[in-house]
A and B are shown apart, each in its own frame.
Chain A
Amino acid sequence: MAFNFNWSPLTADAGFYERARDLLTTALNKSPKPPIIVDDIFVTEFNLGSVPPDLEILEIGDLAEDRFRGIFKMCYSGDAFLTLKTRVQANPLNTYLSAKPGFTSPQPLAAASSLTIPLQITLSEIKLSAFIIVVFSKQKGLTLVFRNDPLESLKVSSTFDSIQFVRDYLQRTIEGKLRDLMMEELPAIIHRLSLQLWCPDQVIKDGEEEKEVEDHAVNPLATPPLDAVDAQGHAVDSIAISELSLDAGSEAKSLYSQQNVNRLTSLTNTQGTSSLLTDTIRDVMFRAWAVPSERPDSSHSPPGATPSLRRSASYSGGSAHTYTFSDSASQDQGHLPSRPSLVSMNSATTAGLSLGSGRHSKAGRKKKTRVVNLRKPSSEPSSSEIGDTASEANSMAPMSEPILEQPEEEASSNANKVRFIGPADVSQEQRRPSIRPEQVKGPEATPGIPSIEINSAPIKSQATPQKQPTSTDSKSEWRRSMPQSDTSSVILEQAWIMKMAGEIARRVYDEKNRNPAFWAERDDSPPPAYEAN
C-alpha cells in the first residue's frame, strides 16, 4: 500500500523554510567539526522540491486511538536541494598543526598562516531508500527510526569542483556527516518535537521556550514521511491516525511521575558506568509481577525492545546506536501482533519500564485486536527462508559477533514469520531468552518473581557469551523461564545486546553493498552522547 503525498502544503507555510534552515543549522553545528572547517556551517538555501517521496506501508503493528506503530518503506529521488555555506582552512600546514601537541611542533614562523576560503556546497539529487519504523504513543511522543542507512546517493557540488581531490574529499565527508545527521540527530529531533507537541510536561526544559511556540508548525517539517502518515495519508487507517494527533492524551500523563522517571534514568546510567550506587524505586509494579502466567507463549515480546534513544559514547561503533534502536524496534515489531500492549513503549528505556507496569492491565485486554498485515504476499517466501537461517543463527550464539552473520533483513523477516509459521515461533522463543543473561545465570529461578537486581546485570552479561551455546539445548528451560524475561533488568540488558546485534547487522549490510568504498568512509568515532528525552 502506498501513500499519495500532498507535497505542496508543506511548503505553503511561509515560515516553513526559515525554520527548517534554523533547525538544520543547529543540527549541523552540534557535533565537533574537523579543523579544516573554521566557521559555523550555515544553511542558506533549502528546498524540498516538487517530487514527493514514495512511502509504502510494510506493516502496521498496532493501531489505537492513542498509539501507533508501523514500518514504512520510503524511497525518494526528487529535486530537493540544500545549500550550505561555511569557511574552510586552505593551508594544509595550519590544519596539520592544529591537532598536534605543541611540544613537538616544528613551530613554523609564517608558513602556517591561515588562509580561509568561503565555501559553498550544494547537495542535490538526493536519493533515499529507507525502512522507517514509527512508534507513536500519546504519552511518549513519537519515535522514528531508520532501520538501514537511508542515504543511497548524493551529488555534492561546491566551489572546488574543478579540483578533483577536494571534490572527492568533500563528497566523502559530507556523506558521512549526512548519515550521522539522519540516523542520529533526526530521530532525536523528532522525538523531542513530538514530546513538546503531545506531552509538554515531559520535555526536559533546556531553555528552548521559543521552540514551543513553533512546534506545531515545526513538526510536519521534521518528520516529512511520518507526518504524511499522520495527516495526509488516504489509507485505511488514516482516520485512526489522525485521531491520534488530534486529541491530547491526558489520562495517562499522571501515570508516570517525573521523579520516578528521573530515578530510572539514573538507574540506567549506572548500568553504563557499573556504578554500585543506585536509587531504589519504590511503589513500582513490574510487568512480570502483574500477570506472569496468563500470557501465552507468543506474548513474550521482548520488553527490552523499547527502542532506546539513550546512547552513550562508551559503545563502540559510531552509527551502531541507531541500528540498535532500529533492530530492537523491528524485533519488537515482530512480536507486536501477539502483544499490542507494548506498542506504546517509547524511546527511553526507563519509560518502557514504567510503562509496562503502569498500563499493563489496561492494555492487556486489547490484545490481538488490531493486527493489520499489509505486506505484499510475494515477499513472504523469501523472508521466511531468511528467517529460518536467521533464527538458527540466533539460537546458536546471539551474542558473539563472529558467529552471528545474520543478513540485514533478519529481524523484520523473522518477525513476519512469527505470525504465520508455528516452528518459527519456537525459534523465536529460543532466541529471545538466549540473549537474556539473567536466565542463563539462573534458569531455576521461579518465573513469577523476577529479580530486579539491575546493578548486577552488566556483570552477568559479560558471562553470557560463554554460557550461551549450552543453554540453547533445552527449550523447555527457556520456555519455563519465559515470564522472567519481562523483568526490568532484562530490558536494559537486551537493549545492550540489541545494540550488538545491530552492529553486526550493519556490518553485514555494509559488505553486501555494491560499492564498498562508498561505505568504508564511515566515521567510527563515537558521537557525543545525548539523551533523547
Chain B
Amino acid sequence: MREFMHYITNAFYGATGWSEDNSYKDLNATSRELIDFPLPRGLRLTLSSLATPHFGTSYQLGSVGVVDGSISYLYSTVPLAAVPAQSDEIPLAALLRSYRRLQELGSRERQWFWSTGEPTVPVPPRTPDNDKSSLLYGRLYLPQSLLEGLVVKRFSSELQVQVSAVSEQSLRNGGTVLGLVQYDKGKYGIEGLASTDGGLLGVRGLYNFGGDAKRNSKSSQKSEAQIAAEKEGIYGRFSAGGELYYGTLNKSGGMSLGMRFATLPTHRGTPLTATVTVNPLMGNINTSYAVMARDYCSLATRMEFNVYSYESDWAVGMELWSDRRPAGFLLGADPTLQLEIESQPVTKIEPRPEPPRPKERSFQAKMEWRLDEPEPEPQPAAESIKSVEGSMAENKKEEYLGVLKARLDQNLRVGLLWEGRAKSLIFSLGMGVDLHRLDEPFRSLGLEVQYSS
C-alpha cells in the first residue's frame, strides 16, 4: 500500500504532467512492486487529511514492541482539489495496483494516476503556472527524532529538481542531503544526482525507441497503417538506459545497464513488461517479466544470476484482485451495503411488464360506434430503470474491493498481503512465512490501517 503522502505526491506529478516512466530508476518498477512489496510489521495506524487543496497532513502511529510514530506535512502550490483524498473515495488501484502501465509518450494530457489505467478525474488545463509548481514535504519520526524533508520544484515542463534530506543524530555529520535534477524530453530522460554522503555523484538516463517513440519522431499523427499495426501483434516501446555512480570521498563506484520492453495502453492484447539489467562490474544479470494476465490478475517473475560467483536467485509474485466483500463479518454490519444487497432481489422479484396487448375498445367507444383515441406511446420507464441498474451493477463489478498479493522466492520464503477497503478504512494485512522452518513458520505479521479525509 502506498502511503497517503506518496499518493498525494503522485497526484502532484499527475497534476503537473510529470511522468515517471522516463526515469531509469523505475525501469523495473512493475516487477519490483509485484515481487518486493513491503510487508507491514506490527500494528500501524495512519490518519491523513488533505485539509485544503494545497495542504495535507498525515499522522502515523505504530507499534512493533515499542510505540513510535511520525508526523508529516505536505504543501503543494498546485491545487489538488480534484484528487479524491477521502479513504472511501480513493481509487484502490491508485493506492494498491502494482502493475504499472506506460503512458503515451509526449502526451501532455497525462493521467493522474499511472496505475489506474484510465484517468479518474478530469485533468486540469495546463497553464504556465503548472510548470513552475513546487511541492514541500516534511516528516518527523518520533521518538527517533529523525527528520525527512523533500522539495520538488519544476522549472519548466521538462526540468524538475528534487532535494531530499534526512537529519538524524546517529548519522555522520548529522544527516545527508540528496539533490536530483531530472530532465524529461519524452524521447529520453536524464537524471543527475549528488549526495553529501560520501560525495556520491551519479548520472542515469533512459532512451526510448520503437513503438510510439518511433512514431513521434516522424509525425505526431497516427496513420491508419500504424493503428492497424498496433492492433495486431505486440505493440510496445523499448527503453534502454544506464547509470553510473562515483563516490568522490570513498573512491568507489558502480554502474549498470538496463533495457525494458513494455506494451503501450493502445495495445489490445495482454499488457506485459520485460526488463533486463546488467551490472558489468559485479557480473550481475537480472531479468524480470511481468504480465497482466487479466484485469484482476498480474504475475511477475524475476531471475538473477551472477557470472562471477555463480549465485542465482529467483522470485515470483502475484496480484489477485477481488470484487468480493473482503471481510464479510466486517462489512455485514454496514447498513448501506445491506440495503444495496437487499434492493437487488427486490427489483428482480418485480414481474416483468407484460408485452402490450392490443387493447379492447372501451365501452364508451362501442356505444358511440367509433374507435378509441390513439393512446400516447407508453414510456419505457421500467426498461430504463433496469438498464441503469444493470450498468450500475456492472460498475460495481468493475470496482474491486481488495487485492491479494503473494510472493515466493528461492529460499521458500512466502509473503502474503491482503489489502482492501472495509467501510472507509483501508486495511493492509501482511504475513511472512518461512517454509524452510516449518516448526515456526511465521516470521512477521502486521496490520496497517489507513484513514483519510
Which residue numbers of A lie inside 8 Å of B, CB to CB? 90-93, 96, 100-101, 103-117
Given contacts A101-B146, A108-B254, A111-B243, 17 further A-B contacts (CB under 8 A): A91-B254, A92-B250, A92-B253, A93-B253, A96-B198, A96-B200, A96-B250, A103-B148, A103-B150, A104-B164, A104-B176, A104-B177, A108-B243, A109-B28, A109-B277, A110-B284, A111-B255
Note all chain A residues with C-beta closer than 8 A to B243.
108-111
Q: How far is the CB of A5 from chain B (nearest CB, A)?
A: 44
Q: How far is the CB of B74 from chain A (nearest CB, A)?
A: 14
A100-B197, A109-B256, A109-B258 given as contacts; is B282 within 8 A of A91 (CB)? yes
Q: Is there a chain A Cβ closer than 8 Å to B297's Cβ?
A: no
9 nearest CB pairs, A to B: A92-B252, A111-B254, A110-B256, A93-B254, A113-B284, A110-B277, A104-B178, A115-B282, A111-B256
Q: How far is the CA of A116 from the CA of B309 in the complex (A)?
A: 7
Residue pairs across A and B with Cβ atoms less than 8 A apart, 29 shown, are A91-B254, A92-B253, A93-B247, A93-B253, A96-B200, A96-B250, A96-B252, A101-B148, A101-B168, A104-B164, A104-B165, A104-B177, A104-B195, A104-B197, A105-B178, A106-B200, A106-B202, A108-B245, A108-B256, A109-B27, A110-B256, A110-B258, A110-B278, A110-B286, A112-B254, A114-B284, A115-B283, A115-B309, A117-B309
Q: Are A93 and B277 in contact (CB under 8 A)?
A: no
Q: How far is the CA of A309 from the CA of B287 in the complex (A)?
A: 54
Q: How far is the CB of A38 from chain B (nearest CB, A)?
A: 11
Q: Are A108 and B25 in contact (CB under 8 A)?
A: yes
Q: Is there a chain A Cβ closer than 8 Å to B171's Cβ?
A: yes
Q: Is there a chain A Cβ closer than 8 Å to B322's Cβ?
A: no
Q: Is there a chain A Cβ closer than 8 Å to B329's Cβ?
A: no
Note all chain B residues with C-beta closer than 8 A to A110.
243, 256, 258, 277-279, 284, 286
Q: How far is the CA of A173 from the CA of B415 in the complex (A)?
A: 37
Note all chain B residues with C-beta closer than 8 A to A116.
309, 311
Q: Is there a chain A Cβ closer than 8 Å to B308's Cβ?
A: yes
Note all chain A residues with C-beta closer than 8 A to B193.
106
Q: Is there a chain A Cβ closer than 8 Å to B431's Cβ?
A: no
Q: How many contacting A-B pairs (Cβ < 8 A)? A: 96
Q: Are B306 and A115 in contact (CB under 8 A)?
A: yes
- Within B291-338, the residues touching A (CB, 8 Å) are 304, 306, 308-309, 311
Q: How far is the CA of A108 from the CA of B243 in the complex (A)?
A: 8
Q: How far is the CA of A111 from the CA of B286 in the complex (A)?
A: 11
Note all chain B residues with C-beta closer than 8 A to A111.
243-245, 254-256, 279
Q: Is there a chain A Cβ closer than 8 Å to B422's Cβ?
A: no
A93 CB contact (under 8 Å) in B28, B150, B166, B252: B252
Q: Is there a chain A Cβ closer than 8 Å to B183's Cβ?
A: no
A93-B254, A117-B309 given as contacts; is B168 within 8 A of A109 (CB)? no
Q: How far is the CB of B11 from chain A (nearest CB, A)?
A: 20
Q: CB-nearest residue of chain B relative to A95? A: B252
Q: Is there a chain A Cβ closer than 8 Å to B24's Cβ?
A: yes
Q: CB-nearest residue of chain B relative to A117? A: B309
Q: How far is the CA of A100 from the CA of B198 in the complex (A)?
A: 11
A92-B250, A108-B25 given as contacts; is B164 within 8 A of A113 (CB)? no
Note all chain B residues with C-beta closer than 8 A to A107.
25
Q: How far is the CB of A296 from chain B (nearest CB, A)?
A: 53
Q: How far is the CA of A96 from the CA of B197 in the complex (A)?
A: 9
A91-B282, A109-B243 given as contacts; is B164 within 8 A of A103 (CB)? yes
Q: CB-nearest residue of chain A relative to B150? A: A103
Q: How far is the CB of B244 from chain A (nearest CB, A)?
A: 8
Q: How far is the CA of A110 from the CA of B204 in the complex (A)?
A: 12
Per-residue CB contact flags for chain B residues 185-214 toward chain A (1 = under 8 Å, else 0) read 000000001010110101010000000000
A113 CB contact (under 8 Å) in B150, B245, B282: B282
Q: CB-nearest residue of chain B relative to A113? A: B284
Q: Are B148 and A113 in contact (CB under 8 A)?
A: no
Q: How far is the CA of A371 from the CA of B311 in the complex (A)?
A: 64
Q: How far is the CA of A104 from the CA of B150 in the complex (A)?
A: 9
Q: How far is the CB of B168 from chain A (nearest CB, A)?
A: 7
Q: CB-nearest residue of chain B relative to A87? A: B309
Q: How far is the CA of A109 from the CA of B25 in the complex (A)?
A: 5
Q: How far is the CB of A14 from chain B (nearest CB, A)?
A: 33
- Within B231-261, the residues touching A (CB, 8 Å) are 243-245, 247, 250, 252-256, 258
Q: How far is the CB of A102 from chain B (nearest CB, A)?
A: 9
Of B150, B278, B282, B309, most A-chain CB atoms within 10 Å: B282
Q: Are B277 and A100 in contact (CB under 8 A)?
A: no
Q: CB-nearest residue of chain A relative to B168? A: A101
Q: Are A101 and B166 in contact (CB under 8 A)?
A: yes
Q: How far is the CA of A176 from the CA of B24 in the complex (A)?
A: 41
Note all chain A residues with C-beta closer than 8 A to B24.
109
Q: How far is the CB of B362 from chain A (nearest CB, A)?
A: 82
Q: How far is the CB of B70 from chain A (nearest CB, A)?
A: 12
Q: Are B282 and A101 in contact (CB under 8 A)?
A: no
Q: CB-nearest residue of chain A relative to B147? A: A103
Of B166, B253, B278, B304, most A-chain CB atoms within 10 Å: B166
A106 CB contact (under 8 Å) in B150, B168, B195, B279: B195
Q: Are B177 and A93 in contact (CB under 8 A)?
A: no
Q: How far is the CA of A207 from the CA of B284 in the complex (A)?
A: 43
Note all chain B residues with C-beta closer than 8 A to A93.
245, 247, 252-254
B171 CB contact (under 8 Å) in A101, A105, A115: A101
Q: How far is the CA of A399 from the CA of B146 in the complex (A)?
A: 36
Of A91, A92, A101, A114, most B-chain CB atoms within 10 Å: A101
Q: How far is the CA of A234 from the CA of B155 in the complex (A)?
A: 86
Q: CB-nearest residue of chain A relative to B251? A: A92
Q: How far is the CB of B347 from chain A (nearest CB, A)?
A: 52
Q: How far is the CA of A116 from the CA of B286 in the complex (A)?
A: 16
Note all chain A residues with C-beta closer than 8 A to B306.
113, 115
Q: How far is the CB of A90 from chain B (nearest CB, A)?
A: 7
Q: How far is the CB of A85 from chain B (nearest CB, A)?
A: 15
- Within B151-192, the residues touching A (CB, 8 Å) are 164-166, 168, 171, 176-178
Q: CB-nearest residue of chain B relative to A101? A: B166
Q: How far is the CA of A112 from the CA of B311 in the complex (A)?
A: 15
Q: CB-nearest residue of chain A relative to B176? A: A104
Of A90, A93, A112, A116, most B-chain CB atoms within 10 Å: A93
Note all chain A residues with C-beta closer than 8 A to B244.
111
Note all chain A residues with C-beta closer than 8 A to B148.
101, 103
Q: How far is the CA of A113 from the CA of B178 in the complex (A)?
A: 21
Of B178, B198, B255, B308, most A-chain CB atoms within 10 Å: B178
Q: How far is the CB of A50 from chain B (nearest CB, A)?
A: 38
Q: CB-nearest residue of chain A relative to B195? A: A106
Q: How far is the CB of B315 from chain A (nearest CB, A)?
A: 14
A93-B253, A101-B168 given as contacts; is B286 within 8 A of A113 (CB)? yes
Q: How far is the CB of B440 from chain A (nearest CB, A)?
A: 16
Of B146, B198, B200, most A-chain CB atoms within 10 Å: B200
Q: How far is the CA of A92 from the CA of B249 in the complex (A)?
A: 12
Q: CB-nearest residue of chain B relative to A100? A: B197
Q: How far is the CB of B290 from chain A (nearest CB, A)?
A: 15
Q: How far is the CB of A93 from chain B (nearest CB, A)?
A: 4
Q: How far is the CA of A108 from the CA of B247 in the complex (A)?
A: 13
Q: How far is the CB of A372 from chain B (nearest CB, A)?
A: 52
Of A107, A110, A111, A113, most B-chain CB atoms within 10 Å: A110
Q: How far is the CB of B361 from chain A (nearest CB, A)?
A: 83
Q: How far is the CA of A112 from the CA of B255 in the complex (A)?
A: 8
Q: How far is the CB of A164 from chain B (nearest CB, A)?
A: 14
Note all chain B residues with C-beta closer than 8 A to A91.
254, 281-282
Q: CB-nearest residue of chain B relative to A102? A: B166
Q: How far is the CA of A306 from the CA of B401 in the complex (A)?
A: 67
